Amino acid sequence: MYLYTLMNCPWTREEMDLVEICRRTKSLGIDGLDFIGTGYHKSWENIRKITDDHGLKTICFTMGVGQLESPDAKERIVGVEEFKNRLEVAHTLGSDRIMLNQGGVRSGNDSDTNRKWMIEGLKDAMPLANAAGIEVTIETHNSPTAPFKTSAHFSEAIAEVPDLKVCFDTGNSFINGEDPLQGYLNNKEHVTHMHFKDVKGELGKVKSGPCVPGTGVVDLPAIINAMKENRYNGYVNLEKGGPDGFEVYKQSMELLGPLIA
């Protein structure tokens, strides 16, 4: 369960207590939660206790560190320190993975420039994650200025930062104009985390928000088959669309659950 789309995203905000979220997540047969760095009004230690009490694993801690994209070396050093703090939060939550959702907005630069400096920032940050035993993934993002929008962008970064992993977002790949199945296959050896997002529209020309995963134009069954063929053994986040909360997750689980199992 990706908590960003349930609690933090403006168009799908829901005022629900974390205990209730855990209870309903468990009732849907979902194994874990993916937390973003804000929005819970509780200490991370307390959040860990709540998830443990419900038998749910924190599969990922999602964060953004805009300073890592900066062309200013001093600001990137600040970003590395922030990165270190977030690793400590992930450890507290019991997660062995973080995901960087880098939109590229902070720097004011374009996508290519942000990617260039993000790679430099990762070179300094990655040894900290390796020492902590925490995997670092970056999401396929749909922001125009995001440093990582296509499989080629990830390949460029991995060539210089070999320990970097990919959080592949099916809907964002489609929005960015890359066939999601091909995008997944291009990076399959490095994909350790998946976001199942679905949309309606034409490739690279989506004008509306996400829809219920399994009801849009993204060929999720084909992607699931490819994941099985390549023995993908990570988690899958469902990114909801629409205002009706857990009913969306329930519908998506009914559509996609039998294919994933």
Q: Residue 226 in contact with residue 189, Cβ under 8 Å?
A: no
* 3-260 fold: TIM Barrel (3.20.20)
**pLDDT for 206:** 92
Under-50 pLDDT residues of the chain: none
DSSP three-state, residue 68: helix
Angle between helices 220-229 and 180-187 (to 10 degrees): 20
The mean of the pLDDT values for the chain is: 91
The per-residue pLDDT for 106 is 84
Q: Are 119 and 157 in contact (CB under 8 A)?
A: yes
**What's the pTM value of the predicted model, to 2 decimals?**
0.94
pLDDT of residue 239: 84
Start-to-end CA distance of the chain, whole Å, equals 16
Given this model, what pLDDT does residue 10 score?
56
Long-range contacts made by residues 41-47, C-beta under 8 angstroms, separation at least 24? 42/18, 44/89, 44/92, 44/93, 45/92, 47/18, 47/93
pLDDT at 41: 82
Residue 32, both tokens: 């874990």
Mutual orientation of helices 111-132 and 151-160 as an angle, nearest 10°? 50
φ, ψ dihedrals at 51, nearest 5°: -65, -40
